[in-house]
């Protein structure tokens, strides 16, 4: 979602801030701005739209100074206009604030501050923070920020500068990620490590309730009562090249083609072929604790929810443990049945998804043990869960998740395999599963080699207004994920359904203009889905069928066939998802859409 960058040190701040904002473009935004201190002078520049508009404003009216904060905004309160872009300033223009999150009592604060003589210039909730800090300012900037935050309700990651305390940046976190970058005589602030990786690999992750003060001489971390807190410095191990396109036209295409390697990385050192099991060192659960699990709840959002549906079937089939999938956004607003013998698996690529994090905290509050599946080391979920499985997919920049999805499914398969072998799954069946998993990287590569065929199909249907995606069993979630990918980046309306449910409504939509994508590898329910393909053909629908072998029953029923290698049923969604990702990518590309930054979407959703 919104991005924050800050700098204090011996260099000019603007080039560092702008380059940092560009590294955060993938998170999704609709306006951008900077605030810079040059001695006692505080200046801001803002622009609606892309960062290039901000650069134009800076070129027309240059800013100098060695202390500054910057922001990319994704609109919540008020439209994406220049007046609503961050940073926001106080009435006396001595304070500038950038903010990620939502201030829930902003309307009340606005009325109170207006009555005290403050003048508001935007529609945002964020502006209330700037005026509140001005109103409460007495001795130092950090004391004013602490006093203001005691009156604020909601979530925030904020950074504040003031001409009244010009060699200082004050930042605070409550529900929205922030980290400090520790350089050589210079210090950085960011909502995402990618913004500052060109300058330092040493970071300090802030926890909820932390407030930090950055000066040219160092940094301090404290709580809202001004009590000092010690936070360790951690080193980022991945390279800057991981967040570059590397010769690909888009990050999404690069990440699709990285999947043979990322799937292998997810399994490396974990898959034990001889014993037909897996070794997962980060679970922090003993053999007996794993055996004592009575039920599993998996909670997630979006693409991660689709991987959770596949994980549910895996765990129930091979470990025989009752498993339920919950939308994280709904989990904490009902009264779920959770006991100390419940394992709650939370899945989030970023490890910062607000709804998923809140669901995990609710599960912990109710006594469940929590297991996080995340891709970002040092993320909030990774720090707060009881145990975890890192995906090792590397940074995912494209907003539409691809490689993280397949890595999530692999991680769930590894976990299900471990649980199954500890219970009733035989070593023979365990080996069959492990050997099939070991084949996945080269099987994925063989699908990627057929990308030109999929591009031709995309050309045929790029002007379609609607798509239907159908699958059964393990491949129903794959159909959901394929539909989500298409609508996310091409803006074509697409729906995923269990194939048998087509007769209960969606069949009314099918005519000669409706493309229907069937995920139909040769699995246990293949014969059932053939009848669904026949129903579509009888109504002149166009059929795009993902299948795994020659099959006489399909003769004359397929307009376009995409062949994937054969594998065991539980792994078919991994292979099927690759052509679905490519179909979405090429369709969006041919429609002229911004593949990596689809409209209205953000990579990391850090507000409820």
Instruction: Please name each of the domains of the chain with its CATH number.
Output: 3-236 (3.60.20.10), 246-438 (3.40.50.10490), 445-594 (3.40.50.10490)
- Measured CA to CA in angstroms, residue 586 lies from 79, 258, 470, 583 at distances of 31, 17, 20, 5
Three-state secondary structure call for residue 484? helix
User: So which residues are the catalytic ones?
Assistant: 2, 603
- Comparing CA positions, the residue from 604, 606, 491 lying closest to residue 26 is 604
Backbone φ and ψ for 8, nearest 5 degrees, come out as -145, 130
| Interatomic CA distance for residues 353 and 380, integer angstroms | 9
Three-state secondary structure call for residue 592? coil
Identify the pLDDT of residue 520.
87
pTM as predicted: 0.82
- Measured CA to CA in angstroms, residue 279 lies from 74, 195, 292, 313 at distances of 41, 34, 18, 21
Which residues of the chain have a pLDDT value below 70? 1, 240-241, 602-608
Identify the pLDDT of residue 606.
56
| Interatomic CA distance for residues 567 and 585, integer angstroms | 25
| Interatomic CA distance for residues 278 and 430, integer angstroms | 9
Identify the pLDDT of residue 530.
81
**Residue 190, CB-side half-sphere exposure with 13 Å CA sphere:** 27
Identify the pLDDT of residue 604.
59
Angle formed by the axes of helices 403-422 and 259-267, to 10°?
Answer: 30
Identify the pLDDT of residue 317.
96
- Measured CA to CA in angstroms, residue 402 lies from 202, 367, 380, 480, 547 at distances of 28, 33, 22, 14, 20
| Interatomic CA distance for residues 248 and 477, integer angstroms | 28
Identify the pLDDT of residue 308.
97
Identify the pLDDT of residue 533.
82
């Amino acid at each position: 979602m919104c991005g924050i960058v800050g700098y204090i040190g011996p260099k000019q701040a603007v080039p560092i801030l702008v380059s940092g904002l560009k590294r955060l473009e993938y998170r999704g935004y609709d306006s951008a701005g900077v605030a810079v201190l040059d001695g006692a002078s505080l200046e801001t520049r803002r622009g609606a739209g892309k960062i290039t508009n901000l650069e134009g404003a800076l070129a027309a009216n240059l800013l100098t100074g060695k202390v500054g904060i910057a922001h990319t905004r994704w609109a919540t309160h008020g439209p994406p206009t220049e007046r609503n872009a961050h940073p926001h300033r106080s009435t006396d223009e001595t304070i500038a604030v950038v903010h990620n999150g939502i201030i829930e009592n902003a309307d009340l604060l606005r009325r109170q501050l207006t009555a005290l003589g403050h003048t508001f210039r935007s529609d945002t909730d964020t502006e209330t923070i700037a005026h509140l800090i001005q109103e409460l300012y007495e001795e130092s900037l950090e004391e004013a920020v602490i006093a203001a935050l005691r009156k604020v309700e909601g979530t925030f990651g904020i950074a504040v500068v003031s001409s009244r305390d010009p060699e200082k940046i004050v930042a605070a976190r409550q529900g929205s990620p922030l980290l400090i970058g520790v350089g050589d005589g210079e210090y950085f602030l960011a909502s995402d490590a990618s913004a500052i990786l060109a300058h330092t690999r040493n970071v300090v992750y802030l926890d909820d309730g932390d407030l930090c003060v950055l000066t040219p001489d160092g940094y301090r971390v404290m709580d809202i009562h001004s009590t000092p807190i010690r936070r360790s410095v951690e080193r980022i191990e991945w390279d800057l090249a991981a967040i570059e396109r590397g010769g690909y036209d888009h990050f999404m295409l690069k990440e699709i083609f990285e999947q043979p390697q990322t799937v292998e990385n997810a399994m490396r050192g974990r898959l034990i072929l001889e014993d037909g099991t897996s070794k997962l060192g980060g679970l922090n659960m003993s053999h007996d604790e794993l055996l004592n699990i009575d039920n599993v709840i998996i909670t997630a959002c979006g693409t991660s929810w689709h991987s959770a549906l596949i994980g549910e079937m895996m765990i129930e089939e091979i470990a025989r443990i009752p498993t339920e999938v919950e939308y994280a956004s709904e989990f904490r607003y009902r009264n779920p049945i959770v006991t100390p013998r419940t394992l709650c698996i939370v899945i989030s690529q970023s490890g910062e998804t607000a709804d998923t994090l809140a669901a995990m905290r609710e599960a912990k509050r109710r006594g469940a043990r929590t297991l996080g599946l995340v891709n970002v080391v040092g993320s909030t979920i990774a720090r707060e869960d009881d145990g975890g499985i890192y995906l090792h997919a590397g940074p995912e920049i494209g907003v539409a998740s691809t490689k993280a999805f397949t890595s999530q499914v692999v991680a769930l398969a590894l976990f299900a395999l471990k649980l199954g072998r500890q219970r009733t799954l035989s070593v023979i069946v365990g080996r069959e599963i492990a050997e099939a998993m070991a084949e996945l990287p080269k099987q994925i590569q063989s699908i990627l080699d057929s990308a030109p065929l999929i591009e031709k199909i995309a050309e045929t249907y790029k002007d379609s207004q609607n798509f239907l995606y159908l699958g059964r069993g393990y491949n129903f979630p794959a159909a959901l994920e394929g539909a989500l990918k298409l609508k996310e980046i091409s803006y074509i309306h697409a729906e995923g359904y269990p194939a048998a449910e087509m007769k209960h409504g969606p069949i009314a939509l099918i005519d000669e203009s409706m493309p229907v994508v069937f995920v139909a590898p040769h699995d246990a329910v293949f014969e059932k889905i053939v009848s669904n393909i026949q129903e579509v053909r009888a109504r002149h629908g166009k059929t795009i069928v993902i299948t795994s072998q020659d099959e006489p029953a399909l003769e004359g029923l397929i307009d376009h066939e995409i062949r994937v290698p054969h594998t065991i049923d539980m792994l078919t969604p991994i292979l099927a998802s690759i052509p679905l990702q490519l179909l979405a990518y090429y369709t969006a590309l041919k429609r002229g859409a911004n593949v990596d930054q689809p409209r209205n979407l953000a990579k990391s959703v850090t507000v409820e």
